[in-house]
Amino acid sequence: MDSSVPLGNVLKGEVTPPCSKSYAQRALAAALLAEGRTTLRGIEMCRDTQAAIECIEALGAHVNVIDDDTLTIDGGFAPCADELHAGESGLAARLFTPIAALHDKPITVSGEGTLAHRPMSMIAPPLRALGVEVRDGGGKLPIEVCGPLRGGRVVVDGSLSSQFVTGLLIALPRAEGDSTVIVDGAVSTPYIEMTVSTLERFGVEIMHQCDDYTEFYIEGGQRFTPADYRIECDWSAAAIMMIAGAIAGEVVIRNISMLSKQADTAVCRALERAGASIIVEQDRITVSHRELHAFEFDAKNCPDLFPALVALAAASEGMSTIYGISRLAHKESDRGEVLREEYGKLGIEIELDDEQDAMRIFGGMPSAADVDSHDDHRIAMSLAVTALRTEEPIAIRNAECVAKSYPSFFEDLDSLKTNRKA
């Protein structure tokens, strides 16, 4: 499906983002390992969340849909299939592989689309050190694991992603022995903090030094207790709508809090640096358009913000610099190259500087063109928001990929349009 985004609209209104798929997947994994019934509220069925549900069902959980945003999960780790299909979710693949390794029979973790080409080389060495037999495809999916996962001391390469670290932290409390996990070159530490806080909700303790997410002590043989847990709204989805408000009007984001542990709360700092009007209240944030100017921002710990920040930078006068492009190569697309290519079609120049780990965006008025999402949900949303500034429609190829994280994105964006020229 292609989407044509008409433009020059003014935005005004309120929107509630979907639930955080990062929190949802963590909670689903913990619910699987809990003996008893967990209730998850506020959950929405994006493709990545659906993939995680399929994984926990294959590992023995019974999932019941109560209403549009409520699930119950009857936990109990008892694999009933020899394959876990992670869809296109990198988190699901890296999270559920060590959980599957708790089983003493072979289980294969597979994926589809671009996930089949994303690096998984960080998985095999630590699992083997913990007593797991591993067969992989040269650092790619599919990966076959056969446990049981035992405790021990292990070093994990965290320089590419924290997702496998999350998987280990969730699985190892169920191992027979105690474990020490050392994370080498840790990135995206806010996501690890999310994991630790989610496990606390399920009665599991992960010990680490205060504010240091590079070394963990995990007692084996812990019990996960069922929880009644409301999944908070997704700051990644909120961020793109906040930037839409900064670019084209005034948008109120409901049901979000600056107290969230999600890394993408950092978008507020970027908006302030660009000169947008931002009003933070207890459970809502209002972002309004003002004249925007170039800014600098370090996105190493929040790489999912990059596409949204490029939309902000493209609307800002001057040259903006965003650091952390080394985190972009192995996402749903090679995001640095894709952003440079697709924004170039709109007349917005982007430079990539590998030596400085930086992207430079030269703000300006975009011209109408047909662009391609490269089946990357965050690229599609970034281009759609930039299209708000064009005088002619922009056609976005494969725009349906937004369903990976934000199925109602285009409907929510349309609901904000006043159909008045800016």
Catalytic residues: 304
φ, ψ (nearest 5 deg) of residue 184: -90, 125
For residues 27 and 286, give the distance between their C-alpha atoms in angstroms, rounded to a whole number: 29
For residues 73 and 91, give the distance between their C-alpha atoms in angstroms, rounded to a whole number: 20
Burial class (CB in 10 A: 0-12, 13-18, 19+), 177: middle
How do beta strands 358-362 and 143-146 pair?
unpaired
* 246's tokens: 């900064």
Q: Is 193 helix (H, G, I), strand (E, B) or coil?
A: helix
φ, ψ (nearest 5 deg) of residue 212: -120, 110
φ, ψ (nearest 5 deg) of residue 413: -65, -45
Question: Are the C-beta atoms of residues 244 and 9 closer than 8 Å to each other?
Answer: no
Question: Are the C-beta atoms of residues 60 and 251 closer than 8 Å to each other?
Answer: no
Among 381, 43, 416, 395, which Cα is nearest to 237's? 381
**Which residue stretches of 145-258 are H helix?**
163-171, 189-201, 235-248
As a residue count, the chain comes to 422
Exposure string for 57-81, b = 16+ CB within 10 A, e = fewer: bbbbbebeeeeebebbbbbebebee
Burial class (CB in 10 A: 0-12, 13-18, 19+), 392: exposed
